[in-house]
A and B are shown apart, each in its own frame.
Chain A
Amino acid sequence: MSVAIKANRLTPYMFLAPAGVILVFALLYPIGYMVYASFLDWSPSQRIGQAEFIGFRNYVNLWGDEAFRESFWVTIRFAAIVVTLEMFLGVGLALLLDRNLKGMAVLRTVFILPMMIAPIVVGLMWRYMYHPTVGIFNRTLKSMGFEGVPWLSDSTWSFIAIVIADVWQWTPFIFILALAAMQSLPRSALEAAEIDGASEWQKILLIKLPLMMPVLIVTLLLRLIDAFKVLEVILVLTNGGPGLSTEILALRIFRTAQEFQELGEAAAMSNLLLMLLMALTIGMFAYNRVQEARVARQRAAAEKDDD
């Protein structure tokens, strides 16, 4: 092989090199650092070299930690509930707004505004609205003659409060993806269904939703990954309280590092969360792969007996 050809083969890697360097320093290094830290008994006053290596003890401790298990459970519950609600609302809205009416473009833009607001701002906004005396919810309730609701001071209500805030912020995400999926559906298949005698509901249930399913599944996984990592809104709204009722995992990690000064343990928790999210991400990739493989197989079968 001549030198020129060799150089040619190497060219793409040379172009990739800068990105590779950034990847190593900005991504792999911190993650490696975190994994390493999760095996240490390390407080912020120590340099990492001074920390004691304690093997898996952080992980073992977590296993026995009631508070950690509680916050793990809160996270699962939170993610499951918000993502379910958001899927139903987002897809429902998309089904309703998938038509060409005047002003629909404006309406669609308005719908996706919440997604664009910084999470801290969303948290502050909802905290004012949930305020027991001056918040709009309780004022409205009182003016209508009802009791005020202890939005952020009761453990059940505060969980509901963070669910509402998250649904408000993230339903639009599902809405726009579902709408895009819906608008790329084959129009003639829907017309054929109409002629075949399908009612609007039957068209939705038997044609639209099944055809949108691949997009919806990916959307669901993306949202699930996000919901597991949520932090700012809840930090501002309830700071995990009252008690541990809204202390999701990200918040627990934040507090372990910040308040309890247990960097090693916080790293261990981060690792667990990372593994959970990795599982979801791999699940998503696997799903995509299966889909692609199926399409490829179908195409191959079609070409084989093309007459």
Chain B
Amino acid sequence: MPQIRLENLVKRYGNFEVLHGINLEMEENEFTVLVGPSGCGKSTTLRMIAGLESVSDGEIFINEKPVSNLEPKARDLAMVFQDYALYPHMNVAKNMSFALRLQRRPKKEIDEKVGVVAEMLGLTKFLHRKPGELSGGQRQRVAMGRALTRDAGTFLFDEPLSNLDAKLRGQMRAELALMRQQVQKNMIYVTHDQIEAMTLGDRIVVMHGGYIQQQGTPEELFKRPANKFVAGFLGSPPMNFLEAEVQDLSDRSFVSGKGFELVLPEDKAAAVASSSSKAVTLGIRPSDLHYSPDAEDHESVDLQVIVSEYIGAQSVLLCDCGGQKVEVELKSETPIALGETLRFAVNREGIHMFDRETEVAIR
């Protein structure tokens, strides 16, 4: 199986540079997710790997072979498109076997392959239908089936689930994860949805503004975000950010701002000490705030509830903390009233700090 490497990949449209030197290495059989807001360059990167966009500068290596000047068909890829890109005039079987028929494989082999993949995706009884006669979810499956039948070395997915409604998307996400276990191939998956990224990826690459912000396992990115953007992008509800100052006292360091003062754990204190900046942005995920009326002063924050969003077992509370907004999660049965001030203990591991100027994590 090939390994894929991007070296200083640059994309320009005229004088406008949209990708600024992407360096990325993907291991064999790895499921890599490129994630970021729209316009971050993730789709462009994928389309360059596919050969649908030209490479302005830099090189793409597949198995150590430079491929940026090769036709898409010479790169041994299969791709699933956002709008499925099925051939409307061919039935499902013909759609799935198109690549194999172009390769003039024997009919028996083609029928067998299509049969196996159709069985796996539950498409067997739709093989003679045209794409127009299928529902969105079924079309999505055909698109997936076409890529699988192709039996290529690398699979590319360009936001494959974004045209589906929420319920179907969850279902297809689970099916994808299942397929992932059965098919050991390189997979590169582009999405703007951080939940898809977290649940599917072996490795997540967060992109923003044409740069890679951080890459690593979902856990690494979630627990040790490299900067404020990554911290805010991953996780739901998103991380809370509060303007704060760091104060060093003789024995302990504090991070404080309007309406809160927290003692810093030693490793964080050491990190801040070696950093030049005392003006920081404090980041705390809602999941690191626990309702605890008896918590110590310096290990908790007091929040005034503004809005409570009931979403079932949990409610999301939007609160005020010295003029800044903070979101927390709370068991729905907890008796609270709007306007009430509640005390939330802060998980020590959950304190993140970012340089207010550069937004880089201090750690």
Compute how far the CA of A92 lies from the CA of B152 in the bound complex, rounded to whole angstroms: 34
The verdict on A189 contacting B133 (CB below 8 Å), with A196-B150, A198-B73, A307-B168 known, is no
**Distance between B210 CB and nearest chain A CB, rounded to angstroms:** 22
> Mask for B60-104, Cβ within 8 A of A = 1, else 0?
000000000001110001110111111111000000001100110
Query: Could you count the A-B residue pairs with CB atoms below 8 Å apart for me: how many are there?
Result: 79
Is A191's CB within 8 Å of the partner chain B? yes
Q: Contact at B98–A196, with CB atoms within 8 Å?
A: yes
Is B134's CB within 8 Å of the partner chain A? yes
The verdict on A303 contacting B135 (CB below 8 Å), with A188-B81, A189-B87, A191-B81 known, is yes
**Distance between B264 CB and nearest chain A CB, rounded to angstroms:** 51
Q: Contact at A189–B102, with CB atoms within 8 Å?
A: no
Q: Contact at A197–B89, with CB atoms within 8 Å?
A: no
**Distance between A193 CB and nearest chain B CB, rounded to angstroms:** 7
Q: Contact at B85–A189, with CB atoms within 8 Å?
A: yes
Residues in chain A near residue B89, CB distance under 8 A: 210-211, 213
Residues in chain B near residue A206, CB distance under 8 A: 98
Compute how far the CA of A302 lies from the CA of B92 in the bound complex, rounded to whole angstroms: 13
Chain A residue, CB-CB nearest to B158: A188
Residues in chain A near residue B50, CB distance under 8 A: 191, 195
B interface residues, how many (CB within 8 angstroms)? 34
Tell me the chain A residues, 276-307 only, with Cβ under 8 Å from chain B: 295, 298-299, 301-303, 305-307
**Distance between A305 CB and nearest chain B CB, rounded to angstroms:** 7
The verdict on A188 contacting B103 (CB below 8 Å), with A302-B133, A307-B168 known, is no
Is A202's CB within 8 Å of the partner chain B? yes
Compute how far the CA of A195 lies from the CA of B87 in the bound complex, rounded to whole angstroms: 13
Compute how far the CA of A196 lies from the CA of B76 in the bound complex, rounded to whole angstroms: 9
Residues in chain A near residue B132, CB distance under 8 A: 295, 298-299, 302
Compute how far the CA of A207 lies from the CA of B99 in the bound complex, rounded to whole angstroms: 13
Q: Contact at A195–B77, with CB atoms within 8 Å?
A: yes
Is A186's CB within 8 Å of the partner chain B? yes
Q: Which of A189, A194, A306 contacts B52 (CB 8 A)?
A: A194
Compute how far the CA of A206 lies from the CA of B102 in the bound complex, rounded to whole angstroms: 10
A interface residues, how many (CB within 8 angstroms)? 26
Residues in chain A near residue B103, CB distance under 8 A: 197
The verdict on A211 contacting B52 (CB below 8 Å), with A188-B83, A197-B99, A299-B132 known, is no
Is B137's CB within 8 Å of the partner chain A? yes
Compute how far the CA of A207 lies from the CA of B130 in the bound complex, rounded to whole angstroms: 14
Residues in chain A near residue B82, CB distance under 8 A: 188
The verdict on A202 contacting B88 (CB below 8 Å), with A192-B81, A298-B132, A307-B168 known, is no
Compute how far the CA of A194 lies from the CA of B72 in the bound complex, rounded to whole angstroms: 6
Is B129's CB within 8 Å of the partner chain A? yes
Residues in chain B near residue A305, CB distance under 8 A: 135
Is B21's CB within 8 Å of the partner chain A? no
Q: Contact at B99–A306, with CB atoms within 8 Å?
A: no
Is B136's CB within 8 Å of the partner chain A? yes
The verdict on A189 contacting B98 (CB below 8 Å), with A298-B132, A302-B132 known, is no
Chain A residue, CB-CB nearest to B73: A197
Q: Contact at A196–B133, with CB atoms within 8 Å?
A: no
Residues in chain A near residue B136, CB distance under 8 A: 306
**Distance between A291 CB and nearest chain B CB, rounded to angstroms:** 12
Chain B residue, CB-CB nearest to A210: B89
Residues in chain A near residue B79, CB distance under 8 A: 191-192, 195
Residues in chain B near residue A196, CB distance under 8 A: 73, 98-99, 102, 146, 150
Residues in chain B near residue A188, CB distance under 8 A: 81-85
Residue among A192, A213, A303, A306 facing the most chain B CB atoms (10 A cut-off): A192
Chain A residue, CB-CB nearest to B84: A188
Q: Contact at B102–A197, with CB atoms within 8 Å?
A: yes
Chain B residue, CB-CB nearest to A306: B135
Q: Contact at B137–A307, with CB atoms within 8 Å?
A: yes
Compute how far the CA of A303 lies from the CA of B102 in the bound complex, rounded to whole angstroms: 32
Residues in chain A near residue B137, CB distance under 8 A: 306-307
Q: Contact at A301–B98, with CB atoms within 8 Å?
A: no
Q: Contact at B135–A307, with CB atoms within 8 Å?
A: yes
**Distance between B44 CB and nearest chain A CB, rounded to angstroms:** 14
Residue among A195, A207, A303, A305 facing the most chain B CB atoms (10 A cut-off): A195
Compute how far the CA of A299 lies from the CA of B72 in the bound complex, rounded to whole angstroms: 33
Tell me the chain A residues, 127-158 only, with Cβ under 8 Å from chain B: none
> Mask for B94-117, Cβ within 8 A of A = 1, else 0?
000011001100000000000000
Residues in chain A near residue B87, CB distance under 8 A: 189, 192-193, 207
Residues in chain B near residue A213, CB distance under 8 A: 89
4 additional A-B pairs beyond A298-B130, A302-B132, A303-B135, beta carbons within 8 Å, are A189-B87, A195-B77, A206-B98, A302-B133
Chain A residues packing against B (C-beta within 8 Å): 186, 188-189, 191-198, 202, 206-207, 210-211, 213, 295, 298-299, 301-303, 305-307
For the complex of A and B, 7 pairs with smallest distance between CB atoms: A188-B85, A197-B73, A196-B99, A298-B132, A306-B135, A192-B85, A298-B133
Q: What are some 27 contacts across the A-B interface (CB < 8 A)?
A: A188-B82, A189-B85, A191-B52, A192-B79, A192-B81, A193-B87, A194-B71, A195-B78, A195-B79, A196-B98, A196-B99, A196-B102, A196-B146, A196-B150, A197-B99, A197-B102, A197-B103, A198-B102, A207-B87, A210-B89, A295-B132, A298-B133, A302-B132, A302-B135, A303-B135, A306-B137, A307-B168
